[in-house]
Amino acid sequence: MPRTSPPTSPPAKPVPHFRRERALLRAGCWPVAGMDEVGRGPLAGPVTAAAVILDPQRLPRGLADSKVLNAAVREIAYESIMSRALAVAIGFAPAQEIDRINIRQATFAAMRRALHGLSIHAAYVLVDGSDAPPGLHCPGETIVRGDSSTLSIAAASIIAKVTRDRMMTRLDKIYPQYGFANHMGYGTPEHLAAIGIHGACVLHRRSFAPIRSLALL
């Protein structure tokens, strides 16, 4: 009989750690903030950034990149972070600013607002990705896929995601014709169909190609 290989288990999901933050703490560089953003891709709503300084003595459990957690788990993680972190701040850049200065620069602006809004002055910042915003008040570094590897960035990812989703759900009550609570402003078929029927509203990013192509400006 032909040999059969034993079934293989799916690769374990990476668990964010606090090693980079602890190394900085031991080197005398503290407090350390993690920073991440959500909402670069949607057709509507703000791009949202969060900055989080975790308490090394009271680290929240069960954190991961916000994209791999379902909404219910994200809400639980959000409350854990908010109750345990030393400082949390949010920064926004609305659709009009995105249209005026482009999504990359608007994302940088939201990140600066988040970092500068912390109630504790950060000595160092860990930024998700490879593109750090200029004009920060402290040194830092970028970490590619930091939201899945670095605990402070994962915390910022969750705070930014839950904050933005809650905002879009509230805005759905003001503009129910677009279904923002279902798609959070992303370019789903439902959303595109609603724009085709109702036109663009003040929340839409008019510089984004799908909006421009509908000739609704």
Mean pLDDT of the chain: 92
Task: Give me the mean pLDDT over the 61-83 stretch.
Answer: 89
Which of 24, 56, 40 lies closest to 126, judged by CA? Answer: 24
Residue 3 is predicted with a pLDDT of 53
Per-residue pLDDT reduced to its tens digit, 37-57: 999 999 999 999 999 999 999
Q: Per the omega criterion (within 30 degrees of 0), is the bond before 56 cis?
A: no
Which class is 19-165 in CATH?
A: alpha beta
Task: Tell me the percentage of the chain whose pLDDT exceeds 90.
Answer: 84
Instruction: Indicate the DSSP class of residue 176.
Output: G
Residue 156 is predicted with a pLDDT of 97
Residue 217 is predicted with a pLDDT of 45
Tokens of 174: 């003001």
pTM (two decimals): 0.91
Per-residue pLDDT reduced to its tens digit, 13-32: 678 999 999 999 999 999 99
Query: What b-and-e string marks burial along 48-59, b requiring 16 or more CB atoms within 10 Å of the CB?
Result: bbbbbbbeeeeb
Per-residue pLDDT reduced to its tens digit, 145-155: 999 999 999 99
Per-residue pLDDT reduced to its tens digit, 193-206: 999 999 999 999 99
CB 113 within 8 A of CB 97: no
Residue 215 is predicted with a pLDDT of 52
Instruction: Name the band, by pLDDT with cuts 50, 70 and 90, for residue 136.
Output: very high
Q: What are phi and psi of 64, to 5 degrees?
A: -160, 175
Give the pairing of strands 47-53 and 32-38: antiparallel
Exposure of 106 in the CB half-sphere (CA atoms within 13 A)? 22
Per-residue pLDDT reduced to its tens digit, 90-128: 999 999 999 999 999 999 999 999 999 999 999 999 999
Tokens of 64: 């991961």
Q: Enumerate long-range contacts of 211-216, CB under 8 Å, 24 or more apart.
A: 211/43
**Is residue 1 scored above 50 in pLDDT?**
no
- Low-confidence winner among 4-8, 47-51, 59-63 (lowest mean pLDDT): 4-8
CA 198 to chain centre: 29
Residue 41 is predicted with a pLDDT of 96
Using CA atoms, how far apart are residues 190 and 197, in angstroms rounded to an integer?
11
Tokens of 91: 């920064």
Instruction: Name the band, by pLDDT with cuts 50, 70 and 90, for residue 214.
Output: confident
Helices then strands, counting H and E runs in the chain, come out as 9, 5
Q: What are phi and psi of 38, to 5 degrees?
A: -135, 155
Using CA atoms, how far apart are residues 47 and 67, in angstroms rounded to an integer?
16
Task: Tell me the percentage of the chain whose pLDDT exceeds 70.
Answer: 92
Any alpha helices (H) in the chain, and if so which ranges?
A: 19-26, 71-84, 95-101, 103-116, 146-149, 151-174, 180-183, 189-198, 209-213
